[in-house]
Amino acid sequence: MNVNKISKSARPVRFMGNGFILVAIVLFLWISLPQITKFYNLSSWEKASCRIVSAEVKKHHVSAHQTGKGALFSPHIVYRYSVNGDIVETNGYRPYGKIGKFNWAKSIVDSYPVDKETICFFNPKKPSQAVLIKSFDPTGLMLMFVPLLFLMFGFFLRLIASGIESGKIKPN
C-alpha cells in the first residue's frame, strides 16, 4: 500500500483525536477549573456559630422535558452569625447549591429547625457568603472527571492514527 494513502487515511482519525483533546481542554476550563478553584477558596473560610432563622423547601420550576416531572426542590435555610461584632444574615446550604427531589430537600430542612444553634462557614473576604456544609456534592466532584474521559479517548484516537501511519493497523 502506498505510504501517502496510509497517511491520508490516518488524517481523519488524528483530526478526531485532536478534536476530543480540544473538547477535553474546554471542558476542563469550563467544569473542572471552577470546581477546583472554589474548593481551594473554601479552605480559607472561617467557622462561626450561627442560629437558624427560617427553613423551608423552595420549589424550582423546570421544563417537563428536562426532568420528566416539571419541578425540583432545594432547601432554603436562613441563618445569622456574628463577624467582628456585626450580625450577618444569609442563606446557603452547601457550595454549588443543589436541587433535587422534594423528600431530599425536606429532610435537610427538617434537620435545621428554627432557633437551632449550629456551625456555619463564611468567607472572611465577603462575610455574607456562607454555607452550613463545607463539603461538595459528590455529583459535582464526579463531573470534574468528564474532561479526563474526552482526553483519554482523544489520545486513543491519536494512537490509532499512529498505528495506521506505521502500517501496524490496516485501513479498509
pLDDT tens readout for residues 4-18: 555 778 889 989 999
Report CA-CA distances (Å) from 88 to 78, 80, 129: 10, 5, 10
> Grid coordinates in use for 42?
473554601
Average pLDDT, whole number, for the chain? 85
Cα diameter, the chain: 81
C-alpha count within 13 angstroms, C-beta hemisphere, residue 60: 15
Grid look-up 487515511 returns: 9
Predicted confidence at residue 97, as pLDDT, reads 66
Model confidence band, residue 33 (pLDDT cutoffs 50, 70, 90): confident
Predicted confidence at residue 134, as pLDDT, reads 84
Report the phi/psi class of residue 129: left, alpha or beta, with left for phi > 0 and alpha for psi in -120 to 50: beta
At the second CATH level, the architecture of 46-133 is: Beta Barrel (2.40)
pLDDT tens readout for residues 47-105: 999 999 999 999 887 665 554 566 889 999 999 999 999 999 999 888 766 788 899 99
Predicted confidence at residue 68, as pLDDT, reads 52
